[in-house]
Chains A and B, each alone.
Chain A
Amino acid sequence: RKEVEQDPGPFNVPEGATVAFNCTYSNSASQSFFWYRQDCRKEPKLLMSVYSSGNEDGRFTAQLNRASQYISLLIRDSKLSDSATYLCVVNHGGGTSYGKLTFGQGTILTVHP
């Protein structure tokens, strides 16, 4: 089993739709979790951190389920500008864990008019 797995998609949704991505991780000791967004031929950029209690930022909601070892990202009222690849990132080290970040392969989202 891969350390971090995402459904690669692509997800093709119309504007205004709600779409959700899941990401599973294998290491139960994983401590921090993030969602990144990457536009074509650009660097990944932090979309949001994922907190144990779940967190929301505008149209975006992130949740963590430690028991089932997955995180999710929900996008409401999709915009054309949301089209991108969404990367799940897991820090699966304990203590001094530099270099322990693992990236999922990304989920491609295309929002169409």
Chain B
Amino acid sequence: IAGITQAPTSQILAAGRRMTLRCTQDMRHNAMYWYRQDLGLGLRLIHYSNTAGTTGKGEVPDGYSVSRANTDDFPLTLASAVPSQTSVYFCASSATDNSPLHFGNGTRLTVT
């Protein structure tokens, strides 16, 4: 593993189903983030974590939850998927709050 790994790469999901997007980093970065990217809306922050054991809400947190049990992993869960959650999801990390972000290669999620 080098950098940030996201899984799955893509997924088609029936509405109402539960789904967890996985994100793992090996850079020992303190902060991790989940963004969604939609045409015309750019990248929007869903949730973030300053350090292991803490999380915070971003701009569009509703319908999503996260956990940060350790430094490396930051899964994003959709408890009951809805079609409006169809998007490309990017996980990112940064060493400090003023450091640039490093992104995973994204998960393309389609909720039908």
Interface residues as binary, B45-75 with A (CB distance below 8 Å gives 1, 0 otherwise)? 1001110000010100000000000000000
- Say whether A93 contacts B97, CB under 8 Å: yes
When distances are taken between beta carbons in the complex, the residues of chain B under 8 Å from A91 are 97-98
Interface residues as binary, A85-113 with B (CB distance below 8 Å gives 1, 0 otherwise)? 00101010100111111011110000000
Main secondary structure of the interface of A (DSSP, over half): loop
Instruction: Given A34-B100, A98-B31, A101-B101, verify A87-B58 contact (CB < 8 Å).
Output: no
Q: Does B41 contact A (CB under 8 A)?
A: yes
Say how far B44's CB is from chain A's closest CB, in angstroms. Answer: 8
From the candidates A43, A87, A98, A104, name the one contacting B48 in the complex (CB within 8 A): A98
- Say whether B45 contacts A44, CB under 8 Å: no
Say how far B47's CB is from chain A's closest CB, in angstroms. Answer: 8
Q: Does B105 contact A (CB under 8 A)?
A: yes
Q: Does A1 contact B (CB under 8 A)?
A: no
Interface residues as binary, A24-57 with B (CB distance below 8 Å gives 1, 0 otherwise)? 0000000110100000001111100100000000
When distances are taken between beta carbons in the complex, the residues of chain B under 8 Å from A105 are 40-42
Interface residues as binary, B95-112 with A (CB distance below 8 Å gives 1, 0 otherwise)? 001101111111000000
